[in-house]
Structure 1
Amino acid sequence: MAWRRSKSTPGAGAQPARRPTRHGRHGRLDRSPVVRPPLPPLDTRIERFDLAVGTAAEFLRSAWPELREVRFEIADMPAASDDDGIPRWRVLSAEKRIILFRIPIERLSHLHRNDDLHRRMTIEGSVFRAAAEYLDRDPWDLGPERFRYF
């Protein structure tokens, strides 16, 4: 803090200088700040994919006790393709793991409409199909009330 002396009596009554209420860079008046106000966080494709997988996995864990110990993991791409093409997920029952491959699910899916809702439905459908394969059930059996809109 800067100190200044009063002009009337040198050396007596030293008081701190008051900082102005609005100051810019380096304490100078009437200058704008260098940085802008904080921007909203970026919403990336990867974050939206993680959110869709996470919410679908939590729904399935709450509905099916057999899935409570299963880890849902996300990987970018599978190591290699198999005879059926590029896999969208891998189920490892012995390790209690389901690995979803983000790039094949996002890029190789044929969407009815290319919007956020249909992309999310494609991701959730992949999670449901992978969990159904883990449980050896039909995907429609996992959440019948989730698909009854009529």
Structure 2
Amino acid sequence: MDSPVPPRPTEPRPRRRDRHGRGMRGPVAPPQVPLSVSRAESFRDLVQDSVERLERRWPQLAEVDFLVLDVPESPGESVPLGSSVPAERGKPARIVVYRRPVEIRTKNRDERALLVHEVVVEQVADLLGLSPESVDPRYGQD
């Protein structure tokens, strides 16, 4: 005779202990800290920090679009770290920083932050027709 099979619970029971019997672990990081930030997000933050530093001195940069792309579309003999495109009819000026070439040339976050700032300053200077030293007096001193 077949005995009736009890129905399976529709929801899994909450686990009180892990497989080693130690109990559930606490949070890895405080709730206000993101658990993981991708390299691309971290790089965008570096560019944003650099732009904010320059906007205090050059308020007209609020009209410029700052973009981060992984690599240049068609590099020539040398791979650029950034590029600038002047404003056209109906399109704002753009400054692009290329993430992968900058990352390859740096060893750690501090070096990366310095190089990102130099690239942004150089591109802003090119766009405004000024020297990099006049855009940021600390250019090249770090």
* TM norm structure 1: 0.65
Q: What do residues 25-72 of structure 1 show as CA deviations (whole Å, max 9, x unaligned)?
A: 7268xx226974443411332222111100111121221123120010
Contact 2:82–2:97 (CA<8 Å) still a contact in 1?
yes
Contact kept, 8 Å, 1:73 with 1:97, in 2: the verdict is yes
The aligned length equals 118
Whole-Å Cα distance in 1 between the matches of residues 71 and 24 of structure 2?
Answer: 38
**Aligned counterpart for 1:137 among listed residues 115, 126, 130:** 130
SS in 2 for 1:144: coil
Unaligned ranges ≥5, structure 2: 1-11, 30-34
Using the size of structure 2 for normalisation, the TM-score is 0.69
Q: Percent identity?
A: 26
**Equivalent residues of 1:62, 1:68 under 8 A apart:** no
Q: What is residue 12 of structure 1 aligned with on the other side?
A: none
1:74 is matched with which residue? 68
Give matches, 1:10-21, under 5 Å: none
Runs (4+) off by over 3 Å: 33-40, 145-149
Instruction: Indicate the structure (1 or 2) with the bigger Cα radius of gyration.
Output: 1
- Superposition pairs for residues 1-150 of structure 1, below 5 Å? 26=13, 31-32=16-17, 36-40=25-29, 41-82=35-76, 84-94=77-87, 95-107=92-104, 109=105, 111=106, 114-144=107-137
Residues 27 and 126 (structure 1), Cα distance of their counterparts in 2 relative to 1, 3 Å cut: closer
Superposed CA deviations along residues 83-108 of structure 1, whole A, max 9, x for unmatched, are x511211211123111111111211x
CA distance in 2, matches of 1:132, 1:37: 50
Shift of 1:140: 1.6
Q: Matches of 2:123 and 2:24 in 1, distance apart?
A: 46
Q: Distance in 2 between matches of 1:80 and 1:39?
A: 42
Deviation at 1:148, TM superposition (A): 7.6
